[in-house]
Amino acid sequence: MQTRHGEGSGTNESKLPTNDANQLQPAGIRIAAMKAGFTIREATEADVPLIFWFVRELARYEKLSDEVSATEELLRRNLFSERKGAEVLLAFEGKEPVGFALFFHNFSTFVGKPGLYLEDLYVRPEFRGRGYGKALMARLARIALERDCGRFEWWVLNWNTPSLKFYESLGAVPMSEWTVQRMTGEALRALAAQAES
């Protein structure tokens, strides 16, 4: 399962990183057993190669590989520095990485509370249909409640029927009255240049 993504065929997957840190559960990290042999844990800096691998696999499925400008160093800096931009959960079946979720907080002025925004959810194709995507979503919902978030939101590509059905089965409601706006590159620089010093 993926947020902006969907059920892929799993073909042309690149090789998983073999760093042992990606397969071991570090001391001091809270592990939650969701099923026999299935665990979800918070990512650590040692997991950056695995996180980057998941990001590239997700982009490959979405046919957006050419849009990935992230690097391991950018992920390391923005996920594990003093001012973290996002958090990551990793899912394992035994020691085998099966999926990840990357999320961060936004804020709703109407609700007056922070929200939890899911940027990416991905489960490797060969592990889909076993409840792992639902387990990751359930963990994120629990985090949202523990942190007193007023909302749990994400985007889904409109062609991604399997994921749309998956999220609907969890009780999610599409926000069809809204459209996503984005500014990048030259448009972003041009607008920033108009700001008063």
Catalytic residues: 167
User: Mapping DSSP to helix (H, G, I), strand (E, B) and coil, where does residue 193 land?
Assistant: helix
Residue 28 phi/psi, 5-degree rounding, is 85, -5
| Contact between residue 113 and residue 148 where contact means Cβ atoms under 8 Å apart | yes
**Which single residue is written with the structure tokens 């035994």?**
94
In our burial notation (b when 16+ CB lie closer than 10 A, e otherwise), range 115-147 reads bbbbbbbbbbeebbeeebbebbbebbeebbeee
3-state helix, strand and coil shares in percent for the chain, rounded to the nearest 5: 35, 20, 45
d(CA 178, CA 119): 17
Residue 63 phi/psi, 5-degree rounding, is 60, 35
First-to-final CA distance of the chain: 44
